[in-house]
Chains A and B, each alone.
Chain A
């Protein structure tokens, strides 16, 4: 049972986030939904690297050789988080400019740029 639950959570986050993006009527809400989709990748990465009974890969208090979870996927999650932060910031900046130009943050109100 527990063996597939983390993967199910990741799939659920992708699906629910995509639903939010597709049905969104607010650009800020849309960006948050994209973050939800992206958070699925953290769950997936950390779930893949988990070892039953494993400790955190920090050997300050535990001796080297203790069963520990995989440090490589954790390092990758860190990259993932940095990328997500930058993507979110850039998209929110675009939302600010879209609001200035169109006076609305409803994606349906966006029209092709003129001049």
Chain B
């Protein structure tokens, strides 16, 4: 269909869709007046019951930890699928690493970018670790911190070169990290089953609220997810960068 035809069809049909949407929104609670009973209850019981001061993390990694396992494997499966879609095709070949040195014809990063990169890698790593480890206390957790940790490796790529990034984070190690993180999270669930009789039950001493070792299994699950997410994102970026820098057509 032509561009004009598509646009005309869109302009005719979108008012109808918006009408349905507005009718649906009309049934929602007024903005600012939500009184969901679960949220209210969780805000009151999460601190006394789980010693976790960040209720969002308490929901994700304790009250609905089982769903988060599914979420984690969505990410795992998606990265797996991405690796399949971006595999080396029959007519393509991977450049040997010594070739890569010669053919690596990206412009050299400017010395300013290099300097900033070197300065940034450390602090970004620390922020990532901080966000992962304080998930039960302040906003953050494994998902957010994991992405920040992976970003630190991307800075290595920006400031240095692709091979440097692969040197810091070898493919096998990243893959192992991703799988170990995903498996570790499931192990926490089995820990609950073995030690407390219920899958994903919080089975470790809860400690003092707002202390870094508080909230029982929540910091452990956060650590596992942090490793998995960092590994998943590095793998994802590696697959795309491989397309641009390593894999060549016939």
Q: Which residues of A contact B (CB under 8 A)?
A: 2-7, 10-11, 14-15, 18-19, 22-23, 25, 47-52, 56-60, 64-65, 68-75, 78-79, 81-83, 85-87, 89-90, 92-94, 96-97, 100
Contacts and interface: CB of A to CB of B under 8 A. Distances in A.
Interface of B: 3, 6-7, 9-10, 14, 17-18, 21-22, 25, 28-34, 36, 38-40, 42-44, 46-48, 53-56, 58-60, 64, 67-68, 71, 74-75, 78-79, 81-82, 85-86, 89, 137-139, 143, 209-210, 236, 239-240, 243, 249
Given A15-B14, A59-B53, A70-B39, A48 B243 contact: no
Given A22-B10, A25-B3, A87-B78, 11 more contacts: A2-B32, A23-B10, A59-B47, A60-B54, A71-B59, A74-B56, A79-B71, A82-B71, A83-B71, A83-B74, A93-B82
Contact of A48 (B3, B34, B43): B34
B10 A19 contact: yes
Main secondary structure, interface of A, reads helix
Contacts of A75: 56, 59-60, 64
21 contacts: A18-B10, A22-B6, A25-B3, A57-B42, A57-B54, A58-B54, A58-B138, A58-B139, A64-B43, A65-B44, A68-B43, A69-B34, A71-B42, A75-B59, A81-B143, A83-B71, A86-B78, A86-B79, A90-B82, A90-B85, A100-B89
Contacts of B21: 11, 14
B36 A70 contact: yes
A25 B68 CA distance: 37
B240 A96 contact: yes
A3 B6 contact: no
Nearest to A68: B43
A23 B7 contact: yes
A106 to B, nearest CB: 11
B75 A23 contact: no
Contact of B34 (A14, A50, A57): A50
A60 B53 contact: yes
Contacts of B243: 96
Contacts of A70: 34, 36, 39-40
B28 A48 contact: yes
A23 B11 CA distance: 11
Contacts of A81: 143
Contact of A57 (B10, B56, B75, B209): B56
Contacts of B240: 92-93, 96
A70 B85 CA distance: 39
A64 to B, nearest CB: 5
A33 B154 CA distance: 25
Contacts of A59: 43, 46-47, 53, 55, 209
Given A23-B7, A60-B210, A86-B78, A51 B34 contact: yes
A78 B139 CA distance: 12
Contacts of B137: 60
Nearest to B210: A60
Nearest to B36: A70
A83 B88 CA distance: 26
A68 to B, nearest CB: 5
B56 A78 contact: yes
Contacts of A15: 14, 17-18
